[in-house]
Amino acid sequence: MARTFGLEVMPAIGPKRFSFSEIKNATNDFTDKIGRGGFGDVYKGKLSDGRVVAVKCLKNVKGGDAEFWAEVTIIARMHHLNLVRLWGFCAEKGRRILVYEYVPNGSLSQIQSPDGQKPILDWNIRYRIALGVARAIAYLHEECLEWVLHCDIKPENILLGDDFCPKVSDFGLAKLKKKEEMMTMSRFRGTPGYVAPEWTKADPITPKADVYSFGLVLLEIVSGTRNFEHHNSKVESDQWFFPAWAFDKVFKDMNVDDILDPQIKQSLNRMVKTAMWCIQDRPDARPSMGKVAKMLEGTVEIIEPKKPTIFFLSEE
């Protein structure tokens, strides 16, 4: 049973503390870079016990070793099927490094990339990805002993396992930033296309910001189209806003099939309606992530969502 859940290699008292020399040897002196994000670069490595890992070298992280250890221990104790597992860390001479399990199939963004080589994901896989991500975020918001706001829900932070099991990454990294630094960085450096409206205002940031970002990702999963891509519209690309277009197709034209990937034959009304509730412009109008998961499961009734007021701006 321990082997099934991957617990036989998880330290009982918390994450393992690696020395910088161990990290350097595991990554072959940081030669195999596999990713780059707002929090730092990611390298592929192999530990002495044979485990393949993803090593994230954090940047602009403040605090001493004890403070960093305390935060990382909290993050490492967050266990969910749809969260990337944190194995350990390094805090040595000002360096801050996290060691994660390696997820082989890359991110959802790679599956969605318009390179002509992306695999066709059928309805069951897309639904499983959407539901898994929703459950993971709900876990961070509502089930952890320590409340966690992700702050950067996007396809690049949704990794896919061998069976397309989604695993949310970079959760908890906001905890490693000083609050005032995180607020400043996020208001000026949020990921375009996924940032909730309140990030650009002086409004308080709550878990509903993650709900909004998830709603945009959910629309992308349904349609197979990135939010910032042109979708064969007659409208100029700089005037085209994907959520507004999707809302009109579903509730104005009553034609949900137009926003579905042509490869999907089944109706995904529940997923689209859930997404529309997630991207309401007012945070208090959005459901909690726990309710979002239930909406996707079909265990609660989904009433018709209102059209967010931001969609009316282009109708004058």
| 173, two tokens | 């990294």
Per-residue pLDDT at 233: 45
Per-residue pLDDT at 186: 43
Per-residue pLDDT at 314: 47
Per-residue pLDDT at 157: 92
Binding annotation for ATP = 56
Per-residue pLDDT at 304: 84
Spans of the chain below 70 pLDDT: 1-13, 62-63, 111-120, 177-190, 227-267, 308-316
CATH topology classification for 108-315: Transferase(Phosphotransferase); domain 1 (1.10.510)
User: Which residue carries 């205002």 as its tokens?
Assistant: 201
Per-residue pLDDT at 90: 93
Q: Where in the chain is the domain with CATH 1.10.510.10?
A: 108-315
Q: Where in the chain is the domain with CATH 3.30.200.20?
A: 16-101
Q: Report pLDDT digits (tens) over 215-246.
A: 989 988 887 777 655 444 444 433 345 566 66
Which residues are known to be catalytic?
Answer: 152
Per-residue pLDDT at 3: 44
- Written out in words, the top-level CATH class of the domain with range 16-101 is alpha beta
